[in-house]
Amino acid sequence: MFRKLNEECGVFGVYANTTTDVASMTYVALYALQHRGQESYGIVVNDKGVFTHRKDLGLVPDVFDKDHIEKLGQGNISIGHVRYSTTGKPSRSNAQPIVVRHVKGPISIAHNGNLINAHELRKHYELRGAIFHTTNDTEVIAYAITEQRLKRSSIEESIEYAMYSLKGAYSLVIMSPQKLIAVRDPNGFRPLCMGHCKDGSIVFASESCALDSIDATFNRDIDPGEIVIVNKDGIRSIRTHCKKKKSLCVFEYVYFARPDSIIEGTCVHDARIRAGKLLWKEHPVDADVVIGVPDSGLDAALGLSQASGIPYEVGFVKNRYVGRTFIQPSQKMRTNAVHIKLNAVKSVVAGKRVILVDDSIVRGTTCQRIVSLLREAGAKEVHMRISCPPFINPCYFGTNIDSKEKLIACQMTIPEICQHIGADTLGYLSVNGVQSLTSESLKPQPGFCTACFTGEYPISVPKEMPKDKFESKIGE
Amino acid sequence: MFRKLNEECGVFGVYANTTTDVASMTYVALYALQHRGQESYGIVVNDKGVFTHRKDLGLVPDVFDKDHIEKLGQGNISIGHVRYSTTGKPSRSNAQPIVVRHVKGPISIAHNGNLINAHELRKHYELRGAIFHTTNDTEVIAYAITEQRLKRSSIEESIEYAMYSLKGAYSLVIMSPQKLIAVRDPNGFRPLCMGHCKDGSIVFASESCALDSIDATFNRDIDPGEIVIVNKDGIRSIRTHCKKKKSLCVFEYVYFARPDSIIEGTCVHDARIRAGKLLWKEHPVDADVVIGVPDSGLDAALGLSQASGIPYEVGFVKNRYVGRTFIQPSQKMRTNAVHIKLNAVKSVVAGKRVILVDDSIVRGTTCQRIVSLLREAGAKEVHMRISCPPFINPCYFGTNIDSKEKLIACQMTIPEICQHIGADTLGYLSVNGVQSLTSESLKPQPGFCTACFTGEYPISVPKEMPKDKFESKIGE
Amino acid sequence: MFRKLNEECGVFGVYANTTTDVASMTYVALYALQHRGQESYGIVVNDKGVFTHRKDLGLVPDVFDKDHIEKLGQGNISIGHVRYSTTGKPSRSNAQPIVVRHVKGPISIAHNGNLINAHELRKHYELRGAIFHTTNDTEVIAYAITEQRLKRSSIEESIEYAMYSLKGAYSLVIMSPQKLIAVRDPNGFRPLCMGHCKDGSIVFASESCALDSIDATFNRDIDPGEIVIVNKDGIRSIRTHCKKKKSLCVFEYVYFARPDSIIEGTCVHDARIRAGKLLWKEHPVDADVVIGVPDSGLDAALGLSQASGIPYEVGFVKNRYVGRTFIQPSQKMRTNAVHIKLNAVKSVVAGKRVILVDDSIVRGTTCQRIVSLLREAGAKEVHMRISCPPFINPCYFGTNIDSKEKLIACQMTIPEICQHIGADTLGYLSVNGVQSLTSESLKPQPGFCTACFTGEYPISVPKEMPKDKFESKIGE
Amino acid sequence: MFRKLNEECGVFGVYANTTTDVASMTYVALYALQHRGQESYGIVVNDKGVFTHRKDLGLVPDVFDKDHIEKLGQGNISIGHVRYSTTGKPSRSNAQPIVVRHVKGPISIAHNGNLINAHELRKHYELRGAIFHTTNDTEVIAYAITEQRLKRSSIEESIEYAMYSLKGAYSLVIMSPQKLIAVRDPNGFRPLCMGHCKDGSIVFASESCALDSIDATFNRDIDPGEIVIVNKDGIRSIRTHCKKKKSLCVFEYVYFARPDSIIEGTCVHDARIRAGKLLWKEHPVDADVVIGVPDSGLDAALGLSQASGIPYEVGFVKNRYVGRTFIQPSQKMRTNAVHIKLNAVKSVVAGKRVILVDDSIVRGTTCQRIVSLLREAGAKEVHMRISCPPFINPCYFGTNIDSKEKLIACQMTIPEICQHIGADTLGYLSVNGVQSLTSESLKPQPGFCTACFTGEYPISVPKEMPKDKFESKIGE
């Protein structure tokens, strides 16, 4: 029931000046980035050019143990990855980072994003004799870099030239025997930031919350198109591809990122409080209490309460063990599955006119059940408010909003959705509103990708792109 | 670091009119009661007098699977238990419910609480030839009942007479081949309630949130001293022991119980909101923002905000994977472990005068670190407010507040604690205040055990009682 | 298919003069005794009166690891047990040794055998207030000892008096805080021997092969009825019960014991070689080659070859991974399951008259399939020889020959069995023969229990005794 | 201690005419081939061009379960592999068969053997842009085939041309969407045979024992250099490479293969019996008893007994749980580790002159301990006989005899080895002898690789070849 939109990945990398426990740092950072990918994880440690890795399906804290840290050993560079698959089935062999052994030296790559021309590139390389082991984009990127590597004098130059052929969203952390390299695609679809530890180690991460978790200091975001190279001589950038207009996924603010992360200068929590305030401005209604759907709607609910003066309350208690395995009870029991995970606080909602806030409606099923929980608990009215516009277009840049069929807003009008979920009123934040989340001035800001709401894609996209684009012939 | 006070157990029982999937019902209910005990769980199913059980260490969702449900099979009665040990080490053999095979018929017992005369009773039985397999109180209760069983005509009469020898806190759910029986000690230290399903099945649970999870309707609390017997002829009570003054643990409202549970007519969430309001009344201070320590301080923080008009905010983001295994990073990393689990939202607290609310201070270490997180994030002032009085006495009735050495309030004055944790001011809720949580009228209510704050024990307690009272000679 | 008769248990105990790694010694010894019980194991270590144990379902090498040895820790006494259940279902709570906590001091008991009056004793104790947690005999023995303990001055005296009430087969190893005690029932149904290590530690084991595995020297068998006590003052015996006629299970020689063990002065391998020789004497036949069913028939086949002069050969190759899990292939495949585990060596048997030797025929199914494998491989004639007489009576003394229905010899005459299994001829060793296995003089020796062949039970047995004698009302 | 020489792999493939449970067939066959590789296994099922696979570290029966079979599903072609690594570390990513996704269609390859030019080939492909994920030869073979694939009209033609570049030992089973193909290198270093099931399915396997296990009928060996293609039109061969002199590894007869397998027309058991007979002929000695080291020396011991007339006996009992995990006991215990796994039968060897037979001596340590066990058990004389010549040269064709340092025969003369292991006499089978194992006429037969004994390599070998040839820079 709590199946939501999914970000595909989180990446992390660290370059230490000496051989140290970089595996533990990566482990802690992935623990902080876990919300960006729960299907698989991987850590690669570089000890004087020898790459040791551990990859597995599952959550980092569930499948990674002390023994694994010890086996990864010491090193001075390490990269890590957590993954929710948008391309390629969840399988051990699709886990990242990928490690490539090559006569020119090994490299390891962790990737957050999605290429829109992966299929063409793959065919191109296969027709030249290449063999692919996985079904994910990262292997395509590895081939593109390797192709250049044979012609160029350095790994960073190879990446620079390979970027001419890569189209789409990619925030990369790449490790060679001597270097740690961070790359963000020219549109900057996905976030990527840089920081440093007290001892001078340099770190890269998808979100700043990962830096906080290891007591590193946030320095800055990687610019769209930038290549940052760290080695024993220090840090330098290649900015050849830094010319495009930025198109950061606005949904990072609305739902994907952790509230304590700061992306492009704006704290995610603040953006969500602001979303709640704008929602009230756009869709006011008389009510007694404002509550959020845990945990995705809580911040916007608080913002709406602040703007409206209607009291904020805790309307639902979420079972704190949700997220772990749950055995579906037998049909005989006929339990409402929602009750197992969420329970309304009757004294808070009974006899009240409730404004209920969440970040999005995908299929509508969960929303319908939550509204029904409120009605059963005695709510007199339920006014649903959603802190972003309706999804009506597929996303090609690294989320699982990949087809129109699953999107309720492609099937129904807003009044129909309102009736379907059983709410008294329903209001979505406007496109202008969602573009104003990072600004104090209420003016829509440039630099966002809002294609899922507007259909205006920052780069030209293919007519059709299957999720499992390389899986047509082979299962895992 | 998040080690807090611990409740010892949660119990559940169901009596269905026909053979059905009672194992699944118990599973779902234990999932809802999991916060009351994370060390071990157990489920016993009764199929026409044949008792099948499954007990194991660990969280229900982590160690219980579909295969186990199938092996438990169908039945018409089932009881279940989740446990945090106050007596007896965490071990598989100490898991409950215990199943006793006896010529007079098998019984199974699930127990929440702690006997203060278990040691004497055990010695008494051993000197008459008894053998004990476990180190927990429940086996002592089983002997007390069995001793009566040989003389009495029914299981309920045996329980009634056994209760004359049991001293302390016990909320029991007991199953015989034909009956499901719920028992609450004469002081009513621990909660226990009753409800019914749509199909007429009768259920008992430590908290009403378990009834909600299986879509059962709450009927009433079991009275202190009451024995409720359910069999094919219906429900009846034995009230011989229902004369004592009630002494419900007030800390069930402050921390132990789930906010959505209703105990003795008061919603736990409401009691906490009220605790926050009273805290403000008792300890007002000029401030810019009110925040709670997740998750234990959130409700009281909201209440304090409502009473004071100072804005409520989300000051910390908790890693949502906390609770799972976490490998302590090596010393070399020198990471502040708090950062891994909690992260302050800088934009919320920077430059602000913060009121920080939590439910209790045990050793002070965690509190100190959380205050320090706020300071690092730029808080100008930190005013700590605690929604209960200081602990200064050990508890003998089923919690782990078992010795004075670990309690900071036994070692320091309030100003010293304030300085120790690094706060600007510190205010605890008064004893009168905590006794008013269930009343609208602000008048302290009778019927609570507040011994841990006042030293006034509802029944006479032993001078000294070791946690592992039966373990002096034998390890596990 | 290879399901055979089963011995119930193996026991081991060690008394060291100093605190040392007794857990490892017990582990190694149980590894050597594993053939006597594959369902569960247990090890208890005594460190100055503190008993630490580990028990689990499964094979010792599969479920016991380094971490477990470390957790058991050091000590100066330890006992261990491997189990195949004849009484009580295979379950973790039925695993032995049992550990009993008692005001008079803890004891731990490991038991090989089966009581025939366990049911009566249990009822007796339950009617006096006792509670039983397991369904095995050992808990009954613990009660019998505890009952005496309250009246007697020492643990050994308690055992001595308890033995007056115990009827049946029991080889026990018992540990108290200060003592290690070995006990063999007055009939000596099951073996039990004593040895010493180079450092003076005293050890007891079901079979001498366990002594060899830890480089201990075999001293002697415990006498039937003897109680041997080891403590810091040395070794002494109580011989009050040493008057009965010995009735050692003859099937220990035929199948149960390991060939390298020496029981009552005779090497098991030698007894089996002799069984083969006597088989030839009793049932000669013209043939080209003698082969044994691996592994149970190999020794007797070699003996038959030596007596007859007909060449011994390796007729079957057994997959060396048999014993591990095997997933039954789907019906579609219609593979002969025997082929997966055994394969005939065609060049050895094709066109030959084969004498095939095994230790017993229980249901006949396996035997039938093995004969058929030989036919398919081209054997011209198959003459089946069995190295013991037909089973026609249930055993009450610690094996799983517990009902007549499963025994082919109770349903068919020998010619019928011969036809059923598809052999050309069939010969069983005679009762006189099996009683001569330990003698050079070919004269039947006294001192064996042969009741399963003859119905002459050494002690009076109950009319009927269910396998799960205590399980009539309660499942696990 | 029982660490011996290791074969590297076993392969299997099945082509069924209809969609059926080919996964189960492969599972059963791998169970029969398990002795050829215990480190990892893999099964790939082809369902109308969709390849589903399962690969893991460990023994097939230990790590493969019913759920895995179900997930592999139905299909009409399947290949499988068991592996002991000679090249590449034991790791999940190195497990075979490998599955290659390619625009020209997927293929899957299982390989037994070792290429001697893998390093050069790999460098060649990497310099053309290739990326390698594993460190095993099979991926090199995949590139060689893929390189041809882009130029040739069929998969079999691609294989045919790729074979011009592959040097060394390779028995391959290859699966494309429509075809199952078996390939044996032109020297025929490793065995590979073909058979059929009753329903007409065609199967390939490293050894015929795998065919027996699934009730398939053995048809013939694949010829050295032969490519056999099976598809819906039937079976056909490409014999372009069938011109070389055969060089079958003679050690397949001496130790690697299962005794019930038939390789190139000779039953392995018969070859070993013959080895024992020749040993006697070459190294006769007065003695009382002949015994073999279990299990590797048993067949040759029986042959030696038959030739000499000296009685064959069972001198050692092997713990039947050997092969499972064993925790090394602590130093304090000072147990002779040999006793845990092997125990001498004293009555068989005490006071006797013993001829002890084994297949080989690698380092000498195990042999020394076994001789010492016999001495301790009272053997008067110990005459060691080895059923092959001394190893004095590394093997490049798929075994782990990869360096001279570990080989005792490179360090010592035969009399020195005899003294080192503590034997009275020591005799090795001659090179002529080992070449006569498959002949009745006692004449050395051509067609064997005996390079490890003679240094005469059938094809020119590199000066030096590291075991982990691709691992110099990257760990796993």
Determine, for residues A59 and B344 on separate chains, whether the beta-carbon distance falls below 8 Å.
no
pLDDT in tens, A46-97: 999 999 999 888 888 888 888 888 889 999 999 999 988 655 556 777 789 9
Determine, for residues A260 and B343 on separate chains, whether the beta-carbon distance falls below 8 Å.
yes
* Least CB–CB distance from A343: residue in B62, B260, B332: B260
**Given the structure tokens 């438990």, which residue do they identify?**
B72
Q: Are the C-beta atoms of A476 and D52 separated by less than 8 Å?
A: yes
| DSSP per-residue codes, A371-400 | HHHHHHTT-SEEEEEESSPPP-S---SSBS
**B-chain residues within 8 Å CB-CB of C103?**
122-123, 126-127
Q: What does the pLDDT read at residue B470? A: 47
Which contacts of D146-150 are long-range, i.e. CB under 8 A and separated by 24 or more positions? D146/A129, D146/A130, D146/A131, D146/D100, D146/D102, D146/D104, D147/A129, D149/D102, D149/D104, D150/A127, D150/A128, D150/A129, D150/D104
User: β-strands A107-115, A50-57: how paired?
Assistant: unpaired
In the predicted model, is pLDDT for residue A286 greater than 90? yes
DSSP 8-state assignment for residue A443: P
Cis peptide before B97 (omega within 30 of 0): yes
Q: What does the pLDDT read at residue C68? A: 87
Lowest mean pLDDT among A294-308, B403-417, D289-303: B403-417
Q: In terms of Cα–Cα distance, which of A101, A33, A108, A102 is closest to A75?
A: A108
What would the mean pLDDT of B26-38 be, rounded to a whole number? 93
In the predicted model, is pLDDT for residue D464 greater than 70? no
Q: What does the pLDDT read at residue A1? A: 31
> How far is it, in rounded angstroms, from Cα B275 to Cα B279?
6
Q: Which chains touch D (3 or more CB pairs under 8 A)?
A: A, C
Using alpha carbons only, give the angle B399, B403, B409 rounded to the nearest 5 degrees. 100
| DSSP per-residue codes, D310-333 | PPB---EEE-TTBTB--PPPPGGG
Q: What does the pLDDT read at residue A470? A: 47
In angstroms, what separates the C-alpha of B148 from chain C's closest C-alpha?
Answer: 9
What would the mean pLDDT of D376-404 be, rounded to a whole number? 90
pLDDT in tens, C79-99: 999 988 655 556 777 889 999
Using alpha carbons only, give the angle D51, D55, D57 rounded to the nearest 5 degrees. 175
Q: What does the pLDDT read at residue D2? A: 38
Determine, for residues A314 and B320 on separate chains, whether the beta-carbon distance falls below 8 Å.
no
Q: What does the pLDDT read at residue B462? A: 76
Q: What does the pLDDT read at residue A471? A: 42
Report percent pLDDT > 70 for chain B: 91
Give the confidence band of C57 by pLDDT, cuts at 50, 70, 90: confident
**Given the structure tokens 């023969």, which residue do they identify?**
C433
**D-chain residues within 8 Å CB-CB of C195?**
none
Report percent pLDDT > 70 for chain D: 91
Lowest mean pLDDT among B69-73, B401-405, B447-451: B401-405
> How far is it, in rounded angstroms, from Cα D225 to Cα D248?
12
Q: Are the C-beta atoms of B19 and B52 separated by less than 8 Å?
A: no
pTM of the model: 0.87
Q: What does the pLDDT read at residue C116? A: 93
Give the confidence band of B399 by pLDDT, cuts at 50, 70, 90: confident
Determine, for residues A474 and D128 on separate chains, whether the beta-carbon distance falls below 8 Å.
no
Q: Is D157 left (phi over 0), alpha (psi -120 to 50) or beta?
A: alpha
> How far is it, in rounded angstroms, from Cα A263 to Cα A249?
11
Determine, for residues D150 and A129 on separate chains, whether the beta-carbon distance falls below 8 Å.
yes
What would the mean pLDDT of B44-56 be, rounded to a whole number? 93
Report percent pLDDT > 90 for chain D: 73
Determine, for residues A320 and B270 on separate chains, whether the beta-carbon distance falls below 8 Å.
no
> How far is it, in rounded angstroms, from Cα D447 to Cα D445?
7
Decide which of D198 and D61 is more confident: D198
Q: What does the pLDDT read at residue D101? A: 83
Report percent pLDDT > 90 for chain C: 72
The letter for the amino acid at A320 is R
Identify the closest residue of chain B to A325 by CA–CA distance.
Answer: B61
> How far is it, in rounded angstroms, from Cα B106 to Cα C460?
31
A428 phi and psi angles, rounded to 5 deg? -100, 145
Identify the closest residue of chain D to A144 by CA–CA distance.
Answer: D129
Decide which of C407 and A113 is more confident: A113
* Least CB–CB distance from B127: residue in C125, C133, C150: C150
Q: What does the pLDDT read at residue A39? A: 87
> How far is it, in rounded angstroms, from Cα B68 to Cα D420?
57
> How far is it, in rounded angstroms, from Cα A245 to Cα A438?
17
Identify the closest residue of chain B to A269 by CA–CA distance.
Answer: B345
What would the mean pLDDT of A234-245 be, rounded to a whole number? 94
Mean pLDDT of chain B: 90
Determine, for residues C106 and B142 on separate chains, whether the beta-carbon distance falls below 8 Å.
no
Q: What does the pLDDT read at residue D320? A: 84
> How far is it, in rounded angstroms, from Cα B220 to Cα B226?
12
* Least CB–CB distance from D51: residue in A104, A106, A475: A475
Mean pLDDT of chain A: 90
pLDDT in tens, C430-464: 999 999 999 887 788 889 999 999 999 999 987 66
pLDDT in tens, C385-403: 999 999 999 888 988 776 6
In the predicted model, is pLDDT for residue B241 greater than 80? yes
Task: Give CA torsion, residues C299, C302, C308, C310, to 10 deg.
Answer: 140
Q: What does the pLDDT read at residue C472? A: 34
Give the confidence band of B327 by pLDDT, cuts at 50, 70, 90: low
Q: What does the pLDDT read at residue C442? A: 75
> How far is it, in rounded angstroms, from Cα C293 to Cα C295?
6
Lowest mean pLDDT among A318-327, B132-141, B262-271, D212-221: A318-327
* Least CB–CB distance from C269: residue in D61, D269, D314: D314
CA pseudo-torsion sign C209, C212, C214, C218: positive
Determine, for residues C127 and B49 on separate chains, whether the beta-carbon distance falls below 8 Å.
no
**B-chain residues within 8 Å CB-CB of C150?**
127-129
In the predicted model, is pLDDT for residue D8 greater than 90? no
Q: Are the C-beta atoms of D27 and D64 separated by less than 8 Å?
A: yes
The letter for the amino acid at C431 is V
pLDDT in tens, A133-162: 887 899 999 999 999 999 999 999 999 999
Q: Are the C-beta atoms of A144 and A169 separated by less than 8 Å?
A: no
Please name the residues in contact with C133: beta carbons below 8 A apart, sequence gap of 6 or more: B98, B99, B100, B101, B133, C93, C139
In the predicted model, is pLDDT for residue A265 greater than 50? yes
What would the mean pLDDT of D190-198 be, rounded to a whole number? 97
CA A297 to chain centre: 17
Q: How many CB pairs under 8 A join B and C?
A: 109
The token pair that represents D136 in the structure block: 């095993």
Mean pLDDT of chain D: 90
- Sequence length of chain C is 476
Determine, for residues A260 and B317 on separate chains, whether the beta-carbon distance falls below 8 Å.
yes
What would the mean pLDDT of D373-396 be, rounded to a whole number? 95
Q: What is the CA radius of gyration of chain A?
A: 23
> How far is it, in rounded angstroms, from Cα C92 to Cα C57?
6
Please provide the distance, in angstroms rounded to a whole number, between the alpha carbons at the two ends of chain C: 26
Q: What does the pLDDT read at residue A94? A: 79
Asked about A9 being catalytic, the answer comes back as: yes
Please name the residues in contact with C171: beta carbons below 8 A apart, sequence gap of 6 or more: C11, C111, C112, C113, C182, C183, C184, C185, C189, C190, C191, C192, C206, C222
Q: Are the C-beta atoms of B300 and B279 separated by less than 8 Å?
A: yes
User: β-strands D202-205, D227-231: how paired?
Assistant: unpaired
pLDDT in tens, C204-216: 999 999 999 999 9
Please name the residues in contact with A411: beta carbons below 8 A apart, sequence gap of 6 or more: none
Interface present between B and D (3 or more CB pairs within 8 Å):
no
In the predicted model, is pLDDT for residue C202 greater than 50? yes
How crowded is the C-beta side of A120, counted as CA atoms within 13 Å? 10
3-state secondary structure (DSSP) of residue D235: strand
**B-chain residues within 8 Å CB-CB of A259?**
314, 317, 345
pLDDT in tens, B116-172: 999 999 999 999 999 888 878 999 999 999 999 999 999 999 999 999 999 999 999
Q: What does the pLDDT read at residue B474? A: 36
Using alpha carbons only, give the angle B459, B160, B187 rounded to the nearest 5 degrees. 25
Give the confidence band of A372 by pLDDT, cuts at 50, 70, 90: very high
Q: Are the C-beta atoms of A438 and A264 separated by less than 8 Å?
A: yes
Interface present between B and A (3 or more CB pairs within 8 Å):
yes
ipTM, two decimals, is 0.91
Q: What does the pLDDT read at residue D362? A: 87
Q: What does the pLDDT read at residue B365? A: 85
What would the mean pLDDT of C73-77 be, rounded to a whole number? 95
Decide which of A407 and C75 is more confident: C75
Q: What does the pLDDT read at residue D11? A: 98
Lowest mean pLDDT among A331-340, B448-457, C257-266, D178-187: A331-340
Give the confidence band of A334 by pLDDT, cuts at 50, 70, 90: very low
| DSSP per-residue codes, C283-334 | S----SEEEE-TTTTHHHHHHHHHHH-PPB---EEE-TTBTB--PPPPGGG-
The token pair that represents B151 in the structure block: 């003389």
In the predicted model, is pLDDT for residue A177 greater than 90? yes
Within 10 Å of residue D341's Cβ, how many Cβ atoms?
Answer: 22
Q: Which chains touch A (3 or more CB pairs under 8 A)?
A: B, D
pLDDT in tens, C316-350: 999 988 766 666 666 555 456 677 889 999 999 99
What would the mean pLDDT of A361-367 be, rounded to a whole number? 88
* Least CB–CB distance from C325: residue in D61, D298, D320: D61
Q: Which chains touch C (3 or more CB pairs under 8 A)?
A: B, D
In the predicted model, is pLDDT for residue D100 greater than 60? yes
Q: What does the pLDDT read at residue A3? A: 45
Q: What does the pLDDT read at residue A66? A: 83
What would the mean pLDDT of D288-294 be, rounded to a whole number? 97
> How far is it, in rounded angstroms, from Cα B366 to Cα B358?
11
Residue-wise over B218-238: b if at least 16 C-beta within 10 A, else e?
Answer: beebbbbbbbbbbbeeeeeeb
